[in-house]
Structure 1
Amino acid sequence: MEAQIEDSQLVKEYINGNERAIGVLIKRHNARLTGFIYSKVGDRELTEDIFQDTFMKVIRTLKRGAYSEEGKFLPWVMRIAHNLIIDHFRKNNRMPMFEGADSFNIFSLMGDERLNAEKQLIKDQIDSDLTRMIKELPQDQQEVLQMRIYKDMSFKEISDNTGVSINTALGRMRYALINLRKLVEANSIVLTN
């Protein structure tokens, strides 16, 4: 019975107060999501933590009424997991380690403003490069990219604000990202710090 219910229907039921619906969604996508996370982090305990954090974020977003992915539940959940994986690696790469040990070196964090200043310079340079390249995109692509990335608007909101269909907004976003990637490669820009 539960297998026939679409994800989108389960999402609606959960939003309308059926707490069991989220359990069905978690169970349904457990293996796929766990496999995806594990393939990126290679650690069972960390996989479990990120899985839990992913669904906590999913639940908070659904309870806030901020979900608008129109039937694309799994890709949305995978994107949340992907972002949490990136956050994990960013946080841990910032923590200096003892040579050949697994413990953090707290002393290397103290008074190391020069390193932080360097990281800030790199971040500022990346932001500046990206801003410059975004300005090279066609106006309609710039608009969708800025609404989606900087204003965190859904494609429905972008559609309403620009007067184009959701599919057109999605297409513009896709072309903006393709064109940005080409510009990054053409300019040999490294977008990591």
Structure 2
Amino acid sequence: MFKLNSLDDNELVQRFIKGDQESLETLILRHKNRVFSYILLIVKNQELAEDIFQETFIKVIRSLKRGKYIENGKFVSWVLRISHNLIIDHFRKLKLKGTVSNDSTEVDIFNSQRYSEATVEDQMVNDQILSEVKDLIKELPEDQQQVIYMRHYMGLSFKEIADQTGVSINTALGRMRYALINLRKLIEKKKLTLTMI
């Protein structure tokens, strides 16, 4: 009996595109733990992670059917990028609604000495700086954006980043180094002052 498990990701993708549904099931089973762990690590909420996981594979199926996947031996990285973009979209929508969930964090973000002592002006300046930094990050190449988000917004170690993105630790460190160099250049070019006065 022919075993789909013996095929690599690209062979399974090609079979699915030709109409073999089982090939897709094999792909999902093969990568579900890694993709789900990645989502849960960021959103820190089981239910939300499950929703985004389902949304990710719905998007994967649609993209495959439309021929939007280009084989480069990195199927799982492509899926992780789709899930990452869906997570960003989710948080963007939350930000637009002006809501922040305090249920999913271990630390009470509203009961912090840092916030209680800050004046309204300090908070406005801090918010402006954070907003400008996020805008600058968006101008970086995608792999550099990813390493900054994973390191500074998700608190992952470079080993975890390397594991999640399928690269070596040295590559992850190199991307961070270039990201910081490029951020400095952008700050100088735009003549920004990103410090509290």
Q: Which amino acid aligns with 2:25?
A: G
The answer to whether the 8 A contact 1:15-1:63 is kept is: yes
The amino acid of 2:57's aligned partner reads F
Q: Which amino acid aligns with 2:49?
A: T
Match of 1:62 in 2: 64
RMSD: 3.5
In the TM superposition, what is the alpha-carbon distance from 1:40 to its structure 2 partner? Answer: 0.5
Work out the percentage of aligned pairs sharing the same amino acid: 38
> Partners of 1:52 and 1:9 in 2: how far apart?
23
User: Which residue is equivalent to 1:95?
Assistant: 97
How far apart, CA to CA, are the structure 2 residues paired with 1:179 and 1:97? 34
Contact 1:69 1:76 survives alignment (8 Å):
no
CA distance in 1, matches of 2:183, 2:23: 43
Q: Measure how far apart 1:179 and its partner are.
A: 5.3
Contact 1:61–1:67, Cα closer than 8 Å, also in 2: yes
Query: Counterparts in 2 of 1:4-153, with a 5 A limit?
Result: 4-97=6-99, 126=135, 130=139
Aligned to 2:184: 185
- How many residues align? The count is 127
Query: Structure 1 runs of 4+ off > 6 angstroms?
Result: 175-178
Distance (whole Å) between structure 2 residues aligned to residue 80 and residue 97 of structure 1: 24
- In the alignment, structure 2 segments of 5+ residues that lack a partner are 104-127, 142-173
Distance in 2 (alpha carbons) for counterparts of 1:21 and 1:46: 26
CA change 1:29–1:181 in 2 (3 A) is: same
TM-score (norm 1): 0.55
Aligned partner of residue 62 in structure 2, secondary structure: helix
Structure 1 unaligned spans of 5+: 102-118, 135-144, 146-174
Residue 181 of structure 1: CA displacement? 4.5
Counterpart-to-counterpart distance in 1, 2:75 and 2:55: 16
The alpha carbon displacement at 1:177 in A equals 9.6
d(CA) in 2 for partners of 1:72, 1:44: 26
* One-letter amino acid of the counterpart of residue 81, structure 1: S
